[in-house]
Amino acid sequence: MLREHIHIDGMPLHIIDTAGLRDASDEVERIGIERAWQEIEQADRVLFMVDGTTTDAVDPADIWPDFIARLPKNLPITVVRNKADITGETLGISEVNGHSLVRLSARTGEGVDVLRNHLKQSMGFDTNMEGGFLARRRHLQALAEAAEHLEQGKAQLLGAWAGNCWRKSCAWRSKA
């Protein structure tokens, strides 16, 4: 696996290239492939790179049915069909069966901006945000859970102290 940290217009991305995932021929390869799957299952988005000269298929379920079957159901997928300069495909982005499809040419650079903008938009990055906050999906889920726990704690504290009177906050004082 190759790992790289990149920034697209200020948006940080952690890219992991798993190369090809296939049935392992030996134990070391099997361990590497299993680690790749662990990374994929933690991802916010999967990019499938397709050599457009090798297949006309655009639906990931047609290209990699076993791979798609193993993915978490709610994991967003973007299919990136490369070599549009050779295949003559129209550059740009579309949707196929609920998955994003980006056609580009890495050699000429055409369509790469479409992919960059798609990644920024799909990860919630808005270049017009003032003081905006970027977070990964699981970070947002953790923050939502933390907020819920804080509300529960507040309710428990208020419930436990509802009948108690603290000296400084009581409207009446005992005469002692």
CATH of the domain at 9: 3.40.50.300
Task: Give the residue numbers spanning the domain of 74.
Answer: 2-122
Structurally, the chain folds into a number of domains equal to 1
What is the spatial distance between Cα 49 and Cα 34, in angstroms, rounded to a whole number?
Answer: 20
Is residue 43 assigned to a domain?
Answer: yes
pLDDT truncated to tens, each residue of the chain (176 aa)?
A: 677 788 888 777 777 777 666 666 788 878 887 888 888 887 788 888 889 999 998 888 888 888 888 888 888 889 999 999 999 999 999 998 888 999 999 999 999 999 999 988 887 765 555 445 555 666 777 888 899 989 988 888 887 665 555 555 545 444 44
Question: What is the pTM (predicted TM-score) of this model?
Answer: 0.65
Asked whether 67 and 20 are in contact (CB, 8 A), the reply is no
